[in-house]
Amino acid sequence: MHEISVIQSAMEIAVESAKAQGAQQIHRVNMRVGALAGVVPDSLQFAFPIVAKGTIAEGATLEIEFVPAQCHCASCNSDFEPKDFFYACPNCGALTVDLLHGKELELAYLEVS
C-alpha cells in the first residue's frame, strides 16, 4: 500500500533528524497533506503505528494538517478554491491546472525529548 511507503519515507526523515539533534524519543509527528497529494489521511494514520513500531517514534502521535486545494486562474488573474476536480474558475469559467496549494505532502515538525 502506497501510504505505508509514504509513512516509511516520513519516518526515515523524522528519525534521522531527531537523532541528529540528540533526541531519544519522538512524541509527535506533524505532517501537511494536500487535498491532491494522492494519499488518504486515514490510511496514513493506519500505517503510522505499524511503521513506528520498534523505532524511537513508537507510541508517537501523528498529526495531519489538511491543506485544501487552491488554484490560480491565469485568464482573469484570480485565486480560488476549486469546487470539483475540473478546477473551472468560478469567476470566468476558464479551466486551469495552476495549483497553488493541494499537492503538499510534507513533514512539518516533530515533538521530541
Contact footprint for another protein (CB under 8 A): 1-2, 5-6, 9-10, 12-14, 17-18, 21, 23, 27-28, 30-32, 36-39, 63, 65-66, 85-86, 88, 95, 97, 99, 105-113
What residue 76 binds from another protein, Zn ion, none (CB within 5 to 8 A, per partner kind)? Zn ion
Does position 74 interact with Zn ion (CB under 5 A)? The reply is no
Alpha helices, H only, 1-113: 2-20, 41-52
The CB-of-66 to another protein minimum distance in angstroms stands at 7
CB proximity list for 4: less than 8 A, separation 6 or greater: 47, 50, 51
Residues listed for the chain:
113
Q: Residue 85 has which C-alpha cell?
A: 476536480
Contact criterion met (CB below 8 Å) for 16 and 87: no
The CB-of-58 to another protein minimum distance in angstroms stands at 14
The CB-of-74 to Zn ion minimum distance in angstroms stands at 8
> Is residue 66 within a helix (H) or strand (E), and if so which, with residue range?
strand 61-67
Position among 92, 95, 100, 108 found at the interface with Zn ion (CB under 5 A): 92
The CB-of-104 to Zn ion minimum distance in angstroms stands at 23
Contact criterion met (CB below 8 Å) for 39 and 10: no
Contact residues toward Zn ion (CB under 5 A) are 73, 75-76, 89, 91-92, 94
